[in-house]
């Protein structure tokens, strides 16, 4: 079905032609969520060049395009990328060594404080609906359990986080 969409109108970048252009460094459009992650890093003055980045999501919507954008030999790129997912053995072994962790796995609070190091930049773009004692009967949570990690930070090593929902 995606091949029926005109690549020039495929702003999500799912058409095979646009995927190829993204991978080759000639993106017609940058997919919105990965581009949003780039913009967050830019706004926080975090240059991914030379950084170890763990992307916790392997699908075509966020994980693969983001990995390709952060690998590009260009401003906002030049990062070393590891792609993980909800079935990665010892996910924490990967995330603890990362300078930047981006999650979009769709698993509520998959990443907890034991899986993060102080000073790690964490961007959570996961949106998960979980049952809750609220008027609606649910609440939205991300893929990262932030509260414990926030309490562990020290003034000398600031914690940077963005939870996008």
Q: What is the DSSP letter of 31?
A: -
User: The pTM is what?
Assistant: 0.87
What are 117's two structure tokens?
Answer: 């190091």
Q: What are phi and psi of 75, to 5 degrees?
A: -55, 140
Looking at domain 32-163, does it have CATH number 3.30.56.10? no
Tens of each residue's pLDDT in the chain, 165 residues: 889 999 999 988 999 999 999 999 999 999 999 999 999 999 999 999 999 999 999 898 999 999 999 999 999 999 999 999 999 999 999 999 999 999 999 999 999 989 999 889 999 999 999 999 999 999 999 999 977 656 555 443 444 555 544
Q: Quick one: three-class SS letters along 65-128?
A: HHHHHHHCCCCCCCCEEEEECCCCCCHHHHHCCCCEEEECCCCCCCECHHHCCCCCEEEECCCE
Domain boundaries for CATH 3.40.50.720 within the chain: 32-163
CA-to-CA dists, residue 144 to 2, 17, 35, 112, angstroms: 31, 33, 20, 6
């Amino acid at each position: 079905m995606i091949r029926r969409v005109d690549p020039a109108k495929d702003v999500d970048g799912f058409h095979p032609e646009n995927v190829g252009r993204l991978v080759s460094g000639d993106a017609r459009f940058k997919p919105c969520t990965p581009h949003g992650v780039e913009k967050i890093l830019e706004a926080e003055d975090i240059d991914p060049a030379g950084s170890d980045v763990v992307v916790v999501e392997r699908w075509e919507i966020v994980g693969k395009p983001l990995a390709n954008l952060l690998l590009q030999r260009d401003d906002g790129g030049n990062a070393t990328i590891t792609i993980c997912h909800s079935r990665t053995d010892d996910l924490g072994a990967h995330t603890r060594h990362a300078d930047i962790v981006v999650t979009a796995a769709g698993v509520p609070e998959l990443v907890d404080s034991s899986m993060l190091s102080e000073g790690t930049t964490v961007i959570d773009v996961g949106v998960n609906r979980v049952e809750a004692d609220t008027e609606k009967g649910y609440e939205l949570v991300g893929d990262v359990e932030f509260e414990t990690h926030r309490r562990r930070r020290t003034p000398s090593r600031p914690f940077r986080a963005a939870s996008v929902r």
